[in-house]
């Protein structure tokens, strides 16, 4: 299989490419073309370990560039689409780029995939499209009720993917994941932000009451779920991919403080995010039964290893924090 992966210089996409080229997960993959525009969160250092692999090609390009996307997709068998603006806070202060990349970019790729007769289009989405849930967990059939501009842009792209399956019979599969954590995550997200701030002796910001609940998913478990969707998913279907570890932000903060051997006096309470969803929780039974998916990295192990990685890789994250200070 010849595969195109968009946004793969970012956190999740780079893990996906590394896992395909470095493990048996990539059996049957003959070539991977990585497409990334290298915005602030795109970093070729994330792919340095596979850059010399003869099965790997990198193309720096904007996914909204229709001509280039058609050229890249020509002769390939499938596409896994990660490329997205994904930081909720940034979408609140400036949503236009989220609409451009997440909606128009996805549309450009869908059109190019249709024109080039791509065999499968895997669209990587988020549980945030569902909104907020007080009790229970969302099935894939739950209505989309996004509450942030980021989530709305992803919900819009999900609907575009559905429309190309229904109207043009494009072979599409959509995945919706819970909160990812792991190595190479840009240090604006909760775990790397807290850990790197604490390494530098800085305070860590805790939104509002800290009672917001998230389900935490190790990035490699997520990538396994995505690859199962690529290889085993039913055309036109949506699959929730979760980690099975729900924590309040207060609980997560305590776990990070424990890992870093510091007390609560380093925590700075800050004004809550606008439209902050209280709780996310996805029902993964469909992915379990149809794909054979299950999370395999125990959260306690994954968190400890992630914290240690950031402690041992200052040369990776420090330039990123300096550049975006």
What's the CA gap between 43 and 40, in Å, rounded?
A: 8
Q: Kindly give, in sequence order, each residue whose CB lies less than 8 Å from that of residue 300, ignoring residues fewer than 6 positions away.
A: none
277: annotated active-site residue: no
Structure tokens that stand for 44 in this block: 């070729």
Catalytic residue (one of 36, 128, 158, 215): 128
Total residues found in the chain within this entry: 325
Structure tokens at 141: 């059939």
150 an active-site residue? yes
CA 72 to chain centre: 22
d(CA 60, CA 34): 8
Q: Is the separation of the CB atoms in 185 and 247 below 8 Å?
A: no
**In this structure, how many other beta carbons lie within 10 angstroms of the beta carbon of residue 266?**
16
Task: Give the Cα separation of 233 and 124 in Å (integer).
Answer: 13
Question: How many other CB atoms sit within 10 Å of the CB of residue 44?
Answer: 14
Could you tell me whether strands 246-248 and 204-207 are parallel, antiparallel, or unpaired per DSSP bridges? Answer: unpaired
Strand runs labelled E in 97-203: 120-126, 172-177, 179-181
Cβ–Cβ under 8 Å, residues 216 and 178: yes
Both ends of the chain: CA-CA distance in Å? 41
Q: Which position among 16, 36, 85, 150 bears the catalytic label? A: 150
Q: Distance between CA atoms of 242 and 292, rounded to whole angstroms?
A: 13
**Would residue 127 show up in a list of annotated catalytic residues for this protein?**
yes
Distances (CA, A) of 147 to 124, 131, 175, 212: 19, 6, 19, 14
Check residue 23 and report its DSSP letter.
Answer: S
Residue 35, burial from CB neighbour count under 10 angstroms (0-12, 13-18, 19+): buried
Choose, from 16, 36, 85, 127, the residue flagged as catalytic: 127
Catalytic residues, which ones? 127-128, 150
């Amino acid at each position: 299989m010849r595969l195109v992966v968009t946004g793969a210089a970012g956190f999740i996409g780079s893990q996906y490419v590394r896992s395909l080229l470095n493990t048996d997960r990539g059996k049957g993959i003959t070539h991977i073309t990585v497409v990334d525009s290298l915005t602030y969160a795109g970093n070729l250092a994330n792919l340095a370990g596979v850059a010399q692999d003869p099965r790997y090609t990198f193309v720096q390009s904007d996914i909204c560039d229709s001509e280039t996307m058609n050229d890249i997709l020509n002769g390939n068998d499938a596409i896994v689409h990660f490329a997205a603006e994904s930081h909720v806070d940034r979408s609140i202060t400036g949503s236009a780029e989220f609409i451009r990349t997440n909606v128009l970019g996805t549309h450009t790729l869908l059109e190019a995939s249709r024109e080039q007769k791509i065999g499968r289009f895997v669209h990587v989405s988020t549980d945030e499209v569902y909104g907020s849930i007080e009790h229970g967990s969302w099935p894939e059939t739950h209505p989309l009720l996004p509450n942030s501009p980021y989530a709305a842009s992803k919900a819009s792209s999900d609907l575009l993917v559905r429309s190309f399956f229904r109207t043009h019979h494009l072979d599409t599969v959509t995945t919706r994941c819970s909160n990812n954590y792991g190595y190479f995550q840009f240090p604006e997200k909760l775990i790397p932000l807290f850990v790197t701030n604490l390494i530098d002796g800085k305070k860590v910001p805790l939104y509002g009451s800290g009672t917001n609940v998230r389900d935490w998913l190790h990035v490699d478990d997520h990538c396994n779920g995505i690859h199962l969707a690529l290889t085993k998913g039913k055309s036109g279907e949506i699959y929730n991919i979760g980690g099975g570890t729900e924590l309040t932000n207060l609980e997560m903060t305590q776990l990070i403080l424990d890992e870093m051997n510091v007390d609560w006096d380093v925590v700075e309470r800050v004004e809550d995010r606008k439209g902050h969803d209280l709780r996310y929780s996805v029902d993964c039974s469909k992915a379990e039964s149809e794909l054979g998916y299950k999370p395999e990295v125990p959260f306690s192990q994954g968190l400890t290893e992630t914290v240690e990685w950031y402690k041992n890789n200052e040369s990776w994250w420090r330039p990123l924090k300096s550049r975006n200070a």
